[in-house]
Each structure stands twice: as structure tokens, then as C-alpha cells.
Structure 1
Amino acid sequence: MTNHYYNYAIIRFLPYRDRGEFINTGIVMYGNDGSFAARVVDANYPRVDDVFPALPEGLFAQYLKPMKRELSRIEALASDLSGNLDAQKKLFTHLIEPTEGLFTCSQAGTLAANSAQEALDELFNRYVHHD
């Protein structure tokens, strides 16, 4: 029986905002079990070159590194707040607010799963790897 619910957003790489083209590059989520997690592709993710062949070499990796650092910092903060679901929700909501940067997040969705790891794997495989 599934009794955990996870709110999630898809992290998107959007190098040409005026065209609206993007690729899904990660997931951020928090759950009613106190979990908060993020997973992002590696810097050599092949879809970047496939979808954006004219993108300057190294640009994705250049911007991915600080974004991953920030996600790690936020995960650590959320871990400190693990008993406070309201604070985690506010952190998540702030994280997925629309931005003007190269990375942005989708609107939030909800998934029921047995565990945070199961939810993160399912979401990452579905939205990033397209399995």
C-alpha cells in the first residue's frame, strides 16, 4: 500500500528562451515522509548536443556545475528541516518559481510511491531518460 506522496518539478535546460525549446535535465521533489531530493544529469549529457547543436561548447557544463552546487546546498538545508514539512514545502515552492536563467522548473506535480528513492527513480526515468 502506497502512503507517501511526493511533489516534484522537472528541471529544464532552456538556452534559447525566445524559442521556448528546452530539454529535461533533472528532478527536484519533496515528500510527506520528510524527504527532499534532487537528481540532475551529468555535464556530458548527450541530448544537449543532439537538441542544441549550435550551443557553444562547454556552456551546459559551465552552468550546470553551480546549479548542482546550489541543489546540494538546498538538499542539505531541507534535510535539517526534515521534521518541518511546511518549511520544506516553502523551500520547494521557492526553488521552482519561474526564473530567467538557463535552468527553470516545470509546474509542480504529485506522485504516490512507496519510497522517496522509488519516486525519484520513476520520475527521472520518465521525464529525463524517457523510459
Structure 2
Amino acid sequence: MSERRAYNYAVIRVVPRVERDEFVNAGVILYSQQHKFLGMRVRVNEAKLRSLWPETPMEAICKHLDAAMKICEGAADGGPIAKLSMSERFQWLTSPRSTMIQISPVRTGLTSDPQRTLDHLAEDLIS
């Protein structure tokens, strides 16, 4: 068994109407410096979002989440932020925002398998 090492994670929240403070969890970002791992899982529950606000701009939300995924992956078409180090990309992705896509506080844990931990967190936390 591999050694358990520290990781940080945050939940991605979609807030259809910022002034109402209602949100639906739509993703998880996990970073482990020691494992050299940065990963993200996204699953958008359109029905839940529309129940909070029928006019939720799903196309714009999906476009922003796709861009975040490219940044997380360090994709060539992810723009200049995608070229930063894993640590810098995690910091950028988890920076506080007051838009429709918001991030929970960053939390920590220990894992010997960051991919499995990410999958577990996604299953447990994404609505």
C-alpha cells in the first residue's frame, strides 16, 4: 500500500441566482502536491438547477465548467492559465468568486490514491 499523503479539495457550486445564495454541487477539484496530482470531476444536474431558477443559463454554465476542466488538465487549448503549474492552477480554480460558478472552502485530507479519492468525493458530494 502506498503512503498516505496530504491533499486539498474543493466543491464546485453552481449558483443560478447569486442574490438567493442557493446552489447545486456540480463538481470537485482535488490537488495533491506530493502525489503530483490535480484532477476534477464535473456532473451538472440540470433538473435541480432549473428547480432553483427555470431560466438558468445552462449553456453558459457548461461552457465555464468545460473551460475550468481544460485549465485543470493543463490542456493546450486551455489558455494561459492552463500553462501554469498544478499548484497555481489549483489556486486559480479555487479562488473565491461571486459569479454563478462558486467554490467551497478548501478542505484537506490524507490519501494513498488521489484518483480514487477524487472519484469517491465526486460520488459523495456532487448532486
Normalised by the length of structure 2, the TM-score is 0.78
Q: Give distance in 2, aligned partners of 1:26 and 1:4.
A: 22
Alpha-carbon offset, residue 70 of structure 1:
3.1
Alpha-carbon offset, residue 94 of structure 1:
2.2
Query: Residue 31 of structure 2 aligns with which residue?
Result: 30
Alpha-carbon offset, residue 22 of structure 1:
0.6
Give the aligned CA root-mean-square deviation in angstroms: 2.5
Q: Deviations over 1:60-108 (max 9, x none)?
A: 2332123212321332169977xxxxx4333212221111221010110
Gaps of at least 5 residues in structure 1 are 82-86
Partner of 1:15, secondary structure, is: coil
Instruction: List structure 1 runs of 4+ shifted beyond 3 angstroms.
Output: 77-81
Q: Give distance in 1, aligned partners of 2:42 and 2:93.
A: 15
Query: Residue 17 of structure 2 aligns with which residue?
Result: 16
Partner of 2:20, secondary structure, is: coil
Normalised by the length of structure 1, the TM-score is 0.76
Gaps of at least 5 residues in structure 2 are 76-80
* Mapping for residues 44-59 of structure 1, pairs under 5 Å: 45-50=46-51, 52=52, 54-56=53-55, 59=57
Q: Give distance in 2, aligned partners of 1:79 and 1:70.
A: 9
